[in-house]
Structure 1
């Protein structure tokens, strides 16, 4: 028989008040609080805490405190990740983030959903849905990504957008709900190549 953690991570209905999950949440909040209390001069300690908290990340990760998450172990971050102030990740289900991603202030990624009926919500039941974010994605400030969403590579999400549906590669999406307003052409993708030496 599956544990509540296994049900949660597998995208099945689980009970949020499970004692083991509450212990996992307490661990994550303790590590996040320690991280949020560090200074930029404590880079080694910051990296160490993030490696202990998250499912995976590289040494070039940079998150401006405060950062909050539910469990931490369901967050898998690619190379050179940057998140600005007040990033929140509710990682009941896995959150996969590709390489070179930037998150503006107050970006929130939610990989958990609650029942629509009050009676079901009162039981403490929830269901996780994994979020996938591709490489080279940039979120403006105050963006929200909802459960089960997949965002392609090279996507720009405008400030204040709420992403409720999948987004394809190479697009600019804005609004609530976020909609593709145009595609980012090769010329735009090459605009900064001379600065970044991407030839």
Structure 2
């Protein structure tokens, strides 16, 4: 038995250790989602218990995630309503990342072989979102995807492949639309200072 979910990519979904970790996560998620709007301090404490790394990213409830212990949040970001994180693999979200409502970060998957799906077996690949990226409303980011820093992902996109830093990408499947020019980056950075 492996102690950490991140030590392997294939896991029997009914494994007792995995089920226990998921139940502990669900308890914290439930408590977070039941907080009142004036309970910001309590929300932050629950998120610090839930995630592997968390400092001061603002997250609006409701939130859903599988384990929490594989999620790493940078500082200063904003997450709107309805974020879903399937984190059987590591999900890393950089500093000052903006995430629109109803975004799904799906680091979990299922194997292609029928025998493994019947087991049941779960697998996953890490997701990484770079600093100052913006993920538009209703977007889905799939397992194994890296989104570079300063990227803008258009609303409703399904991100199946990596997006290089400093690009706008949109669509289903998500495709790079254009680079973000240095003058645009300078303007964005001037608003944050």
TM-score (norm 1): 0.92
Is 1:70 the counterpart of 2:66 in the alignment? yes
Displacement of 1:11: 3.8
User: Residue 145 of structure 1 corresponds to which residue in structure 2?
Assistant: 141
SS of the aligned residue for 1:142 comes to coil
User: Residue 27 of structure 2 corresponds to which residue in structure 1?
Assistant: 30
User: Residue 170 of structure 1 corresponds to which residue in structure 2?
Assistant: 166
Note if contact 2:60-2:81 (Cα within 8 Å) is conserved in structure 1: yes
Q: Distance in 2 between matches of 1:86 and 1:159?
A: 14
Unpaired stretches in structure 1, ≥5 consecutive residues: none
* Matched positions, count: 193
Q: Distance in 2 between matches of 1:49 and 1:35?
A: 6
Displacement of 1:196: 3.6
SS of the aligned residue for 1:51 comes to helix
SS of the aligned residue for 2:36 comes to coil
Is 1:18 the counterpart of 2:15 in the alignment? yes
Unpaired stretches in structure 2, ≥5 consecutive residues: none
Once superposed, what is the RMSD of the aligned Cα atoms?
Answer: 1.4
User: Residue 99 of structure 2 corresponds to which residue in structure 1?
Assistant: 103
SS of the aligned residue for 2:169 comes to strand
Q: Distance in 2 between matches of 1:23 and 1:193?
A: 43
TM-score (norm 2): 0.95
Displacement of 1:195: 4.0
Displacement of 1:39: 1.7
User: Residue 183 of structure 1 corresponds to which residue in structure 2?
Assistant: 179
Q: Distance in 2 between matches of 1:86 and 1:195?
A: 27
Q: Distance in 2 between matches of 1:183 and 1:146?
A: 22
Task: String of CA shifts for 1:83-137, please: whole Å, max 9, x gaps.
Answer: 1111000010111111000100011101111022443211111212111111001
